[in-house]
Chain A
Amino acid sequence: MRSDKVNATIERILVCVGPNPACIDLIRSAQQMASRLQAEWFAVYVEDPRMLRLPEAERNRAVYNLRLAEQLGAETITLRGRAIAAEIITFARRRNISKIITGKPRRSRWRELISRSPVDELVRLGGDIDVYVLTGAPGETKESPDLVQPKGIHRPEYEMGLLYFVIATALSFLMFPYFELPNLIMVYLLGVMVTAIYCGRGPAILVSLLSVLAFDFCFVPPRFTFAVEANHYILTFGVMFLVALVISHLTTLIRRQAEAARSQERQTAAAYDLSRQLAGARDVEQILQVAVENIAKILGCQVVALLPDEKGRVHVAAGDLASVFHKDIIKEMNVAQWTYENGRTAGWGTQNSPASEILYVPLQATNATLGVLALRPRAPESPHWLLPEQFRLRFLESLTKQVALALGVEHLEKAALDAQISMETERLRSSLLSSITHDFQTPLAAIMGSASSLMNLKGRLEDEPAREMLHNIYDEAERLSRLVSNLLNIALLESGSLKLHKELQPLEEVVGAALNRLEKKLADRPVTTTLPPDLPMVPLDSALAEQIFINLLENSLKYTPPGSPLAIRAVKQDQEIEVEVSDSGPGFPPEDLQRIFEMFERGTRNLDQKGYGLGLSICRAIVEAHGGRIWAENRPGGGATVRFTLPLEANDDQ
């Protein structure tokens, strides 16, 4: 069910927040009401260009109030505009607000007569939205903020105003003989306008009054008295004074708006400048340096950037530590740490550790806090330092967001670079390994070839010892060559650069290839192979899987007496195939069962033992690369068994 009007089913509450201590009560009431009604609630602050005149403490309070609301669970919004009530109502309609809570205005009677208060406007414009007007506790009214009265009289501005007035009067005297009286009024109004533009409202009002008096005294007949001949001049004075007032009012207003626009523009330019410089920054250090310098310049404060170390403790990474942390460094660092860990603003002017003189802002990237900026006002009354209107904090947030983004990009780039480096290293490593193998295999191939060709020269080499020597040379060269290729394989497997080329195949094919390869050595051995005819095909890298069987069979050949039988069996179990290769020799030493698959048996004493070492470790590496397990057992009747499993499901992550 959707309604374009106010949504009746879900209450949405809006509380109007101002720079007023009584607002705290207002916010708490709103929160209570919201929790009672299980409603969403919003805290809205309307920023009027006139607010720029408020003293800093007041503006602070507005932000403080908003922050409080935020902490109590409200969504906080800052609106801008002169028509406070209209802004609020527009917002309320857009967000389907059902109740508005506002404080009772404290205004002087006469102002009430001149203009409606925003609260009246709210009630009038609100229509079907309920408007609750609450009064603050009486004790608190004494703290009521005054719209700022100029502190004393700004002499230079009044003097300037008087000067314009004098000029206008002088001009009028010059014109008097030649112009009608109303023209002189124009000259005076011009004076008022110039005064309003350059000197502000007070001097303009003064000049307005003086202008009327001077006009009366100097030019209206009878001249040089305040008396007037014709009564209609009274009306002229009245209108003249009113027009002067209106002009001065409008002009000052325009001036303020221009100022606000200029300050907005300055911020945009500063933000743009920051982002431009960040884009040019090469590394983390530069990014932080740029951030610290720019933010310090923009906000007129001292800034340091803190980054976490490996243990997650923040430390100063850019900026001058001493300029920000004056005292209680340990306590302040804890606040910084808190900010980093919670990703929330803390310190001065916030709800978290408000006693601190330093403001801590987290550098929040998409999914992590990357660091913290700590800001200390150089002079709290500096016009640039966080005049803590909401928008200024938001502005700071947008600045820190830029810095965080730049840092985030830098982190990503670094990760990409690391990946590239490790890829390069890997490439280098495998090309190194393969050239080493080539360099080893070529001489071995020559040795073996030469030995075997000598052995083949039948009839010319009948000498038995020489033949034996040749066999020796050939066999040992062959063993070396096998070791080299095993070493290469294990290095490739361990480094993960050997990619398995898995294909579905019958296990018998792999077993057959291995038995074939070892045909000569197995000549005197009865080998029983028991593979059930319905054994499913297994996803295997055939060349590597063949190596498992070759290594296991060679191992058995080495440790069992000639002629003793060997057996290969396989059974299907659930989602895997279990294979066993067994012999009937002495079996493994029981204490070694656990570690015969380790590449280097650390702590073992018999270095001369012709280790199962490499062969079995390669078996393990290959089996594990296929996603299986391998273990050794001793058969009850004597003899060693190695079992391993091969999953039937090809898991592609291997």
Chain B
Amino acid sequence: MSDSGWLVLIVEDEVPIRRFLKTALEAQGFKLLEAITGAEAINLTALHNPDIILLDLGLPDLDGLEVIKRIREWSTTPIIVISARGKDKEKVEGLDAGADDYLAKPFSVEELSARIRVAIRHLTRSRGGEGPVFQTGELRVDLAQRLVWVGGEEIHLTPIEFKLLAVLVRHSGKVVTQRQLLKEVWGYGSDEQGHYLRNYIHHLRHKLEADPTRPAYLSTEPGVGYRLRFKE
């Protein structure tokens, strides 16, 4: 799937980072657009309608958040934000504003490719459509019939547990913030209720994971949210 000529827009003001992103992505067969400023990013998005946007949050002109919001007004193109490690608040704000995933600087090419692959998978699924059954590793989820198996064994989940799992499955491979989960499962997104969520994740892990302290499926991104790991 790597040489399929997807168009990637890189928005990054640091030349060395841009250079390495360009080399690495071109080597994998992506076509590239480069923008240095937020305004340029919005223009290029409007002009060329890229398939994926890699957006550094620290831009010289606009706030990265602002760029996400403006693009989200008319485009659903997946946005992967790049931000420094430790700036969790910035990441969460970006994700809540409509970004799809994030990469913490510094990152390796593997991490970058993994994020892009997930984004592309979601793109193709939404374009081509996909069956209601989701499978990763031993975990199998039938969204239509509301059934869950690990290995061959059927797992019984409470309605809320299932709803939670279903949201993570829909976003499989991508990080989902605490607020997004609260909103999609319970209908409201106040951080005050965060510990309910953690409690349900805890139960879910104990039902799905072989070793809940080294989760194979439900991984925590501290300070950001949760990710249902996806193995192809």
Contacts and interface: CB of A to CB of B under 8 A. Distances in A.
A139 B200 CA distance: 98
B27 A449 contact: no
Given A438-B58, A509-B198, A542-B222, A450 B86 contact: no
Nearest to B215: A512
Contacts of B110: 452, 456
A437 B199 CA distance: 35
Nearest to B194: A503
B16 A442 contact: yes
B222 A510 contact: yes
Contacts of B14: 442, 446
Contacts of A441: 84-85, 105-106
A516 interface: yes
Interface string B107-130: 111101000000000000000000
A504 interface: yes
B152 to A, nearest CB: 25
Contact of B220 (A445, A478, A501, A509): A509
Interface residues of B, number: 39
Given A449-B24, A452-B109, A508 B219 contact: no
B220 A513 contact: yes
B213 A474 contact: no
Interface stretch (A93-101, A112-120, A330-338, A481-489): A481-489
A225 to B, nearest CB: 115
B201 A509 contact: yes
B39 interface: no
B136 to A, nearest CB: 16
B213 A537 contact: no
Interface residues of A, number: 47
Contacts of B212: 508, 512
A131 to B, nearest CB: 73
Given A445-B107, A452-B109, A504-B198, A513 B85 contact: no
A511 interface: yes
B19 interface: yes
A446 to B, nearest CB: 3
A452 B17 CA distance: 12
A511 B85 contact: no
B213 A511 contact: yes
Interface string B203-232: 001100001111100011111000000000
A289 B212 CA distance: 74
B106 A503 contact: no
A33 interface: no
A531 B86 CA distance: 27
A485 B223 CA distance: 16
A79 B221 CA distance: 79
A438 B222 CA distance: 21
A542 B27 CA distance: 37
Given A504-B195, A537-B198, A542-B222, A515 B214 contact: yes
Interface centre among B24, B106, B199, B211 (most CB of A within 10 A): B106
B88 interface: yes
B20 interface: yes
A89 B211 CA distance: 92
B139 interface: no
B19 A446 contact: yes
Interface string B27-71: 100000000000000000000000000000010000000000000
27 contacts: A441-B85, A441-B106, A445-B107, A446-B14, A448-B107, A448-B108, A450-B23, A452-B109, A453-B23, A453-B109, A478-B106, A485-B86, A488-B86, A504-B198, A505-B195, A508-B205, A508-B213, A509-B220, A510-B222, A512-B215, A513-B220, A516-B215, A516-B219, A527-B214, A542-B220, A543-B86, A543-B222
4 tightest A-B CB contacts, nearest first = A446-B16, A445-B106, A453-B24, A543-B223
